[in-house]
Copies of this chain bind each other. A is one copy, B any other.
Amino acid sequence: MKKLLREILKEITPTEEEHELEKRIIERIKKKLEKMGVRPVLVGSLAKDTDLRGDKDIDIFIMFHKDVSREELEERALEIGRKLFKELNARYEIDYAEHPYVRGFYRGYNVEIVPCYETKEPRSAVDRTPYHTRYVRKKIRENKNLSDEIRLLKQFMKGIGVYGAEAKVQGFSGYLTELLVINYGSFENTLKAATKWKFNQILDPENLWEDKEPLKYFFPDASLIVIDPIDENRNAAAAVSRQRLAEFIVASIEFLKSPGREFFFPPEERLPSKRELSRRMRSRGTKLMGILFKHSRINPNSLYPQLRKTAIALKKSIDEFDFRILKFDLWTDENNLSVILLDFEVWRLPRIRHHLGPPIDKNLKDQENFIEKYRAYRPYIKNGRWVVDTEREFKKIEQLLPRLIEEKKGFGKNLRSAKKIEIIEDRDILKIDNKGFLRFMDRFLSPL
């Protein structure tokens, strides 16, 4: 394993030239910003020496005094950012996090100029970032090895697909990765520890809480709880979903059992032909339905949660009509096209269905009304409830889905107003001409 990790490190540590170039770019930007009268602070993995080779992100915060109003801060930051990139002759755009900020593209780098307050009591999420940077730098100064170990864990998490706190991934942020290595001392120790994690595992690297028990109740929805060393009331692992946590645990188990470079650099899998995908589709014997959303661009951090919400709402409605979904998933090109894929175990139902009435030992008035209303169907009692066998409105899923899409019950806000929503079935789904989508289909369809 030692040898393997040394090799991986050699591949992922930024080169001298890379760092030289970055240093020059940063110096140039800093000087320009200082001339504009603001204090720039380099944050992020570059600042902490935990960046990976080929990372093209430069994050610079500009600090404002806490007495500056929010409006003024936002206005001035945009003004400064725009001016900066104009002077650099660089393309730029406005993006939104806690505040709007300017992102420019300069000599191949993605440069973010983010405003924040210079305060010990953060007013917004970004205000903590400079403190995070300071904390990690201090830890690395105390133990020079940590940089390498953090780079290994980041690359490992990238390789197995759990890296990133954004809505698409719902995984481990860079800072969380750093905290884990700081806490456990090395890449290997982190993996070893993870194999013993339970859901709702609690870590408190700086031991800010004497009694950890109550933390479960402070963060009831968390799969993993990692107390932020610079803010005892914040869970640095809040974004980690149960699914990504599980995948990390399992990958840790597997890697420790038989280490290999494919964990860090998974080979791109052969993409099966449409013919092959179509064969696998048929062979499942299920009914596959795709809901196609054509929409204007939606920020991915809003789009993914909306797609998840919509898929879950659809599943719930479908369950209520007695159809049965085997599995479902979602995919988007992060631009104009999103797909919710539903795979049905039961998509045809008989004409007759149970219509459940009130329970026998509750409100009598309800019972009388029920019996009166359905007398012709001969109501009967089953498991202490009234039941009639009545006619089913939707006997085929092809009848139900259009209705659900018309109603849009529980759909995400921007998906409700999508320009077009289409239903596609079985083989027609493969007509979606996007390599990313076909890759998604490859994963969705089992190899059977």
What distance in Å separates the Cβ of A288 from its nearest Cβ neighbour in chain B?
10
Residue picked from A243, A246, A351, A390, most chain B C-beta under 10 Å = A246
1/0 per position for A254-292, CB-CB distance to B under 8 A? 100100000000000000000000000001111100000
Q: Are A367 and B448 in contact (CB under 8 A)?
A: no
User: A207: CB under 8 A from chain B?
Assistant: no
Tell which of A165-173, A232-240, A373-381 binds the partner.
A373-381
Q: Mark A127-161, 1 if CB is under 8 A from B, else 0.
A: 00000000000000000000000000000000000
Q: Which of B250, B352, B360, B364 contacts A326 (CB 8 A)?
A: B352
Contact B345 A326 (CB under 8 A): no
The answer to whether A220 has its CB under 8 Å from any CB of chain B is: no
Asked if residues B360 and A250 are in contact (CB atoms below 8 Å), the reply is yes
Asked if A218 is an interface residue, CB under 8 A from chain B, the answer is: no
| Residue in contact with A448 in the complex, picked from B249, B285, B389, CB distance below 8 Å | B389
* Interchain CB contact under 8 A, A446 and B381: no
A364 CA / B198 CA spacing, docked (Å): 11
Question: Is A382 at the interface (CB under 8 A from chain B)?
Answer: yes
Q: Of B285, B354, B391, which contacts A351 at CB under 8 A?
A: B285
Contacting residues, chain B, for A391 (C-beta < 8 A): 448
Q: Beyond the given A250-B360, A253-B367, A287-B350, please list 4 additional residue pairs across the A-B interface where CB-CB is below 8 A.
A: A246-B361, A285-B395, A286-B350, A352-B448
Provide a sorted-by-A list of 13 A–B residue pairs whose CB atoms are within 8 angstroms.
Answer: A199-B360, A249-B360, A250-B360, A250-B381, A257-B368, A284-B352, A286-B350, A322-B345, A326-B353, A348-B348, A376-B447, A377-B447, A391-B448
